[in-house]
């Protein structure tokens, strides 16, 4: 029996009872759609996360009071009771590590307006206290001007680096370099502007004003909690540097040898691992929801095929009378069941990929095609067609030809 003929008969069966067939196809499509759309969206997120993290480089390490990212239930009270990581501790770690580690603080102390003459920004500009290593550790580059220097830190110079979005707002038609902006009432000379980085989850990466950390420490207090960023030198040396930093931080923070670390150390690898757990959880949720829907859809397929057998009893009798064997009747109805599932499956796959890639358009990420999920969906639909179509097919094959010919 030709495959095209089987599909033609499947379409004829669908057209014969549009409502019943439409509901069955809808159930199949929704089940496949749930799985494929979830898998596509997770693949988009995974690709987006990895592309974003890769910008920072694989050897960047962050030391913080609380986890940089967390999946699952967490006792946040235990983290809040930890002592803060202070500027003094950062400077002590900087003394104990080589210059190649590029140790520096990272903290947004305020969100406020930045003003220049009659121009001003919205009150959502992050004021960060950093040193000369911040840009490299966070994959920023200078579009114009210069970076901070060690002298800017030592002499607490009133200078600032502006994010691309801030500079565009304050200086739409003139150069920003050398101009004096005001931040919380204090004047700062613009020494540089960073290149635009875009957004992450709808949040701008270019909406900030960087100040020497010695100024922010003096202004907001040296005991404010900060994160510490540093470089291992290479991906191969990452774990060795993490071990070394762990030991030094325990020494600096005077952690008892029998006690657990009272700080967190994260790298791109550890963050990727946590994100993989999160995306894995989303995969499971999608499969569970889709699986439940597909179970109901499979029952619907069995129902529609049983009705089809009943409606085509006379046709089966004629086929048997002219020499069709049981195996041929079984094959015909089984293939029709598979074809019905594949039609619904294809609709679900196309709709799922389209919706899942909506996340890529939203985040500005590259479009993805979940080949594994799409192929798995087609195979899954074949299995459902076989499992739920075998009983109607066997029932059709066992019909008595004489009684079938008499059926009205």
Please report whether residue 240 resides in a domain: yes
In terms of Cα–Cα distance, which of 128, 166, 131, 164 is closest to 148?
A: 131
- Please indicate, yes or no, whether residues 89 and 31 belong to a single structural domain of this protein: no
Residue 226, domain extent = 83-262
- Please indicate, yes or no, whether residues 228 and 345 belong to a single structural domain of this protein: no
Would you state the pLDDT for residue 132?
A: 95
In terms of Cα–Cα distance, which of 376, 340, 372, 369 is closest to 352?
A: 369
Please report whether residue 115 resides in a domain: yes
Please report whether residue 59 resides in a domain: no
Please report whether residue 76 resides in a domain: no
Pull the structure tokens for residue 376. 């798995």
- Please indicate, yes or no, whether residues 8 and 103 belong to a single structural domain of this protein: no
Please report whether residue 147 resides in a domain: yes
Domain boundary among 233, 262, 291: 262
Domain boundary among 262, 282, 303: 262
- Please indicate, yes or no, whether residues 277 and 182 belong to a single structural domain of this protein: no
Radius of gyration of the chain (CA): 32
- Please indicate, yes or no, whether residues 43 and 126 belong to a single structural domain of this protein: no
CA dist 222 and 211 (Å) reads: 14
Instruction: Find the helix or strand (DSSP H, E) in which 217 lies.
Output: helix 213-220
Please report whether residue 175 resides in a domain: yes
Would you state the pLDDT for residue 52?
A: 62
- 254-265-268 Cα angle (round to 5): 165
Please report whether residue 70 resides in a domain: no
Domain boundary among 262, 287, 316: 262
- Please indicate, yes or no, whether residues 354 and 398 belong to a single structural domain of this protein: yes
Would you state the pLDDT for residue 366?
A: 73
Instruction: Find the helix or strand (DSSP H, E) in which 260 lies.
Output: none
Would you state the pLDDT for residue 143?
A: 94
Question: CB burial class (10 A; 0-12, 13-18, 19+) of residue 378?
Answer: middle
Q: Is the dihedral of CA 215, 221, 222, 225 positive or negative?
A: negative
Please report whether residue 37 resides in a domain: yes
- Please indicate, yes or no, whether residues 200 and 251 belong to a single structural domain of this protein: yes
DSSP state of 209: E
What is the mean pLDDT of each successive set of 10 residues along the chain, which is 408 residues long? Answer: 65 70 78 81 73 64 80 64 91 90 91 92 94 91 95 94 95 93 95 87 84 92 89 83 92 90 80 66 74 77 79 76 78 80 86 82 74 82 84 79 63
Number of structural domains in the chain: 2
- Please indicate, yes or no, whether residues 91 and 239 belong to a single structural domain of this protein: yes
- Please indicate, yes or no, whether residues 217 and 137 belong to a single structural domain of this protein: yes
- Please indicate, yes or no, whether residues 277 and 253 belong to a single structural domain of this protein: no
- Please indicate, yes or no, whether residues 115 and 209 belong to a single structural domain of this protein: yes
- Please indicate, yes or no, whether residues 168 and 137 belong to a single structural domain of this protein: yes
């Amino acid at each position: 029996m030709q495959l095209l003929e089987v599909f033609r008969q499947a379409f004829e069966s669908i057209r014969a009872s549009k409502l019943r067939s439409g509901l069955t196809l809808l159930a199949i499509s929704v089940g496949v759609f749930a799985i494929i759309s979830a898998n596509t969206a997770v693949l988009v997120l995974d690709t987006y996360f990895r592309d974003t993290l890769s910008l920072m480089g694989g050897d960047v390490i962050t030391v913080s009071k609380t986890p940089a990212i967390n999946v699952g239930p967490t006792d946040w009270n235990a983290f809040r009771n930890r002592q803060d990581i202070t500027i003094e501790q950062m400077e002590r770690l900087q003394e104990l590590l080589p210059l190649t580690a590029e140790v520096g603080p990272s903290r947004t102390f305020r969100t406020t307006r930045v003003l220049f003459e009659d121009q001003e920004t919205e009150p959502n500009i992050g004021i960060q206290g950093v040193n000369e290593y911040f840009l490299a550790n966070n994959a920023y580059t200078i579009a114009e001007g210069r970076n901070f220097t060690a002298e800017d830190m030592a002499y607490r110079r009133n200078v600032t680096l502006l994010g691309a979005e801030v500079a565009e707002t304050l200086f739409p038609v003139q150069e920003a370099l050398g101009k004096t902006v005001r931040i919380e009432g204090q004047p700062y000379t613009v020494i540089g502007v960073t290149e635009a980085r875009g957004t992450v989850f709808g949040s701008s990466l270019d909406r900030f004003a960087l100040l020497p950390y010695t100024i922010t420490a003096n202004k907001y207090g040296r005991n404010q909690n900060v994160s510490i960023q540093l470089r291992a030198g290479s991906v191969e040396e990452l774990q060795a540097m993490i071990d070394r930093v762990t030991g030094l931080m325990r020494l600096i923070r005077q952690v008892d040898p029998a006690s657990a670390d009272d700080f967190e150390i994260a790298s791109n690898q550890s963050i990727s691992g946590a994100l993989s757990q999160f995306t894995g959880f989303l995969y499971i949720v999608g499969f569970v929801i889709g699986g439940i829907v597909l179970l109901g859809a499979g029952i619907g397929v069995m129902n529609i095929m049983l009705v089809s057998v009943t409606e085509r009893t006379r046709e089966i009798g004629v086929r048997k009378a002219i020499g069709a064997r049981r195996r041929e009747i079984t094959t015909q109805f089984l293939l029709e069941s598979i074809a019905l599932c594949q039609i619904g499956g294809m609709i679900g796959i196309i709709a799922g990929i389209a919706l899942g890639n909506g996340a890529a358009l939203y985040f500005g990420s590259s479009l993805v095609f979940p080949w594994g999920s799409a192929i798995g969906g087609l195979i899954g639909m074949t299995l459902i067609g076989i499992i739920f179509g075998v009983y109607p097919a066997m029932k059709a094959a066992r019909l008595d030809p004489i009684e079938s010919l008499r059926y009205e």
